[in-house]
Structure 1
Amino acid sequence: MLSKEWLQRRQVAIYAVAVLLAGGFGLGLPASAALFERLITPVLAVLLYATFLEVPFVRFRRAFTNGRFMALALGLNFLVVPVVVYGLTRVLPQEPILLVGALLVLLTPCIDYVIPFSDLAGGDAEQVTAATPVLLVVQLLLLPVYLWLFVGRRMADIVEAGPFLEAFFVLIGVPLTLAWLTELWANRSETGERWQATIGWVPVPMMAATLLVVIASQLPRVWDSIGQIAAVVPVYVAFLVVMPLVGRLAAGLGGLDVGEARALVFTATTRNSLVVLPLALALPAGYELAPAVVVTQTLVELIGMVVLTRVVPAWLVPDAPAGLPAPTLRRDE
Structure 2
Amino acid sequence: MELLEKSEPVLIFTAIILGLLFSDMPFLSSNSSYLITIFLFLMLYALFLEVPLGDIKKGFSNHKFSYRALIINFLWTPFFGYFIGNIFLNHNIDLLIGFFMLILTPCTDWYLLFTKIAKGNLPLSLSILPANLILQLILLPVYLLLFFSSSNSINIIDLSESILIFIILPFICASITKFILKNRSQLKDKITNTFTSFQTIFLAIAIFGIFNSEGKVLFSNINSIFYVLVPLIIFFIVNFLLVYVVSKKSNFSYEDYASLTLTTLARNSPLALAIATRSFPNNELIIIALVIGPLIELPVLYIVTKILLHIRKTY
Fold shared per TM-score above 0.5: yes
| Kept after mapping to 2: 8 A contact 1:102/1:293 | yes
Q: 2-side partners of 1:285 and 1:178: how far apart?
A: 25
**Cα distance change, pair 295–12 in 1 and its aligned pair in 2 (3 A):** closer
Would you say 1:153 and 2:161 are equivalent positions? no
- 3-state SS of the aligned residue for 1:252? helix
Aligned counterpart, 2:52: 56
Q: 1-side partners of 2:6 and 2:298: how far apart?
A: 12
Percent of counterpart pairs with the same letter? 26
Report the Cα offset of residue 266 of structure 1: 0.9
Q: 2-side partners of 1:308 and 1:184: how far apart?
A: 40
- 3-state SS of the aligned residue for 2:2? helix
Aligned counterpart, 1:103: 100
Q: Which of 264, 269, 273 matches 2:265?
A: 269
Q: Which moved more, 1:185-194 or 1:102-111?
A: 185-194
**Cα distance change, pair 120–185 in 1 and its aligned pair in 2 (3 A):** farther
Report the Cα offset of residue 119 of structure 1: 1.9
Q: 2-side partners of 1:121 and 1:206: how far apart?
A: 28
- 3-state SS of the aligned residue for 1:200? helix
Gap runs ≥5 in structure 1: 322-333
| Kept after mapping to 1: 8 A contact 2:163/2:275 | yes
Would you say 1:16 and 2:13 are equivalent positions? yes
**Cα distance change, pair 177–118 in 1 and its aligned pair in 2 (3 A):** farther
Q: Deviations over 1:60-102 (max 9, x none)?
A: 2211111111111101111221232123112223432222222
| Kept after mapping to 2: 8 A contact 1:58/1:183 | no
| Kept after mapping to 2: 8 A contact 1:247/1:264 | yes
After superposition, where does 1:17-166 map in structure 2 within 5 Å? 17-26=14-23, 29=25, 32-89=28-85, 90-151=87-148, 153-154=150-151, 157-166=152-161
Aligned counterpart, 1:236: 232
| Kept after mapping to 1: 8 A contact 2:36/2:205 | no
- 3-state SS of the aligned residue for 1:169? helix
Q: Deviations over 1:255-300 (max 9, x none)?
A: 2222221111111111121111132222356522211121121221
| Kept after mapping to 1: 8 A contact 2:88/2:227 | no
Would you say 1:167 and 2:162 are equivalent positions? yes
Q: 2-side partners of 1:320 and 1:59: how far apart?
A: 34
CA RMSD of aligned residues (A): 2.3
Q: Which moved more, 1:261-270 or 1:196-205?
A: 196-205
Q: Which of 181, 191, 197 matches 1:195?
A: 191
Q: How many residues align?
A: 313
Report the Cα offset of residue 184 of structure 1: 4.5
Q: Deviations over 1:27-57 (max 9, x none)?
A: x657632233320001101111112233221
**Cα distance change, pair 80–163 in 1 and its aligned pair in 2 (3 A):** closer
Q: 2-side partners of 1:256 and 1:280: how far apart?
A: 37
User: 1:166 is matched by which residue type in structure 2?
Assistant: E
Report the Cα offset of residue 152 of structure 1: 5.0
Provide the TM-score with structure 2 as the length reference.
0.89
**Cα distance change, pair 205–308 in 1 and its aligned pair in 2 (3 A):** farther
User: 1:39 is matched by which residue type in structure 2?
Assistant: L
Q: 1-side partners of 2:310 and 2:26: how far apart?
A: 44
Q: 1-side partners of 2:219 and 2:274: how far apart?
A: 21
Q: 2-side partners of 1:86 and 1:291: how far apart?
A: 18
User: 2:175 is matched by which residue type in structure 1?
Assistant: W
Provide the TM-score with structure 1 as the length reference.
0.85
Structure number with greater CO (CA < 8 Å, separation at least 6) is 2
User: 1:250 is matched by which residue type in structure 2?
Assistant: V
Q: 1-side partners of 2:272 and 2:68: how far apart?
A: 23
Aligned counterpart, 1:288: 284
User: 2:154 is matched by which residue type in structure 1?
Assistant: V
Aligned counterpart, 1:328: none
Q: 2-side partners of 1:12 and 1:276: how far apart?
A: 17
- 3-state SS of the aligned residue for 1:291? helix
| Kept after mapping to 1: 8 A contact 2:118/2:306 | yes
**Cα distance change, pair 11–71 in 1 and its aligned pair in 2 (3 A):** same
| Kept after mapping to 2: 8 A contact 1:30/1:220 | no
Q: 2-side partners of 1:30 and 1:231: how far apart?
A: 30
| Kept after mapping to 1: 8 A contact 2:9/2:294 | no
Q: 2-side partners of 1:215 and 1:125: how far apart?
A: 35
